Amino acid sequence: MRNIAKWRCQLTEYDIEYVPRTSVKGQAIADHLAEFPIEDDTPIDFDFPDEGILQVDEEEDGTAWKMYFDGARNSTSSETLTRLAAHYFLSGETLYRRSFDATLLRCVDENEAQRLMGEIHEGNCGPHMSGLMLTKKLMRLGYFWSTMEADCAKHVRHCHLCQVYADQIKAPPNELRPMAAPWPFSMWGIDVIGPINPKASNRHLFILVTIDYFTKWIEAITLASVTANAVARFLKRDIIARYG
C-alpha cells in the first residue's frame, strides 16, 4: 500500500488519458480503410461470358403436377424416392399411377378432382356414399391423386344433403316406427338367437330367424355354429328358392 501511494503522488504531475485496448470490429475496419485509402479504383465488370436469361411464363392454376426437390440427402432417402417413383409413369403428357392390381389410374389436378367428387357423390346417380367408399369408387373408375382419401372425407363432411339426411347417432330417443314393405316378401329381417341353453334336440346352439315385414311370415332353422356358408345356404334354399 505504501508503494501504491508513492506512485500515485508521482503520477499526479502528468496528464494521463486512458485508452481501452478493445475496439469494435466494424470501427477498427473503418479506421483501417480511412488510414489506408485505395486510390486506384477498378470498376466492376458486369459483362459475364455465356450468360443467358430465362423467362417463366405464367401458368394457370391446377393445370399440372409440380414436384420441387433438391435430391436425397443420403442413400436411404434415395432408395425411398426411387420406390415411390416406381408407382408412377409418364405417357406423353399424362401421368399415371400403377395400382396394386396393375390397373392404371390417371392422375388428376385439383380442379378435376373437385368436379369428379361432386359428380360421383351427389350427381344424378350419386348415392351419397361415405368418404372411404367415394375414394374406392374413384379408384375403380381410374382416377387418382395423392390426397384423395382426405379430400373425399372432407367433401362428404361438407355435403349439405348428407348432413340433413344422415343417421343422427346422438339424436334423442323417439318412439319406434314399424318398417313398411311395399309388397309381400320384398323386405326381410334376419337375426340370430343364441347360444341357447339347454341345447336343441339335435345339439345345435343357435337359431337363425327371418321374418317378412309385409306378411310377418317367419322362417327359422337351428345351427350348430353361425357361419357365412350356413347363412347363405339357408337364404338360398329357404328364402330365395321359395319366395324369390
What are the pLDDT digits (tens) for 200-233?
A: 778 888 888 888 888 888 888 888 888 888 888 8
**239: exposed, middle or buried (Cβ count in 10 Å: 0-12, 13-18, 19+):** middle
Calculate the CA dihedral of residues 62, 96, 105, 68 and round it to 10 degrees: -50
Instruction: Judge if the upstream peptide bond of residue 127 is cis by omega within 30 degrees of 0.
Output: no
Domain with residues 83-165, CATH architecture:
Orthogonal Bundle (1.10)
Alpha carbons 165 and 71: distance in angstroms, whole number: 49
How many residues does this entry show for the chain?
Answer: 244
Q: Do domains 83-165 and 188-243 have the same CATH topology?
A: no
pLDDT at 242: 80
What are the pLDDT digits (tens) for 24-83?
A: 666 777 777 777 777 666 677 667 666 666 665 666 665 566 666 666 666 666 677 677
Q: Percent of the chain at pLDDT above 90?
A: 4
Of the listed ranges 85-94, 120-129, 169-178, the one predicted with least confidence: 169-178
Segments making up each domain of the chain, as ranges:
83-165, 188-243
Q: Is the pLDDT of residue 12 over 80?
A: no
Look up the CATH number of domain 188-243.
Answer: 3.30.420.10
Tell me the chain's radius of gyration from C-alpha atoms.
41
pLDDT at 151: 92
What phi and psi, each to the nearest 5 degrees, are found at residue 66? -125, 140
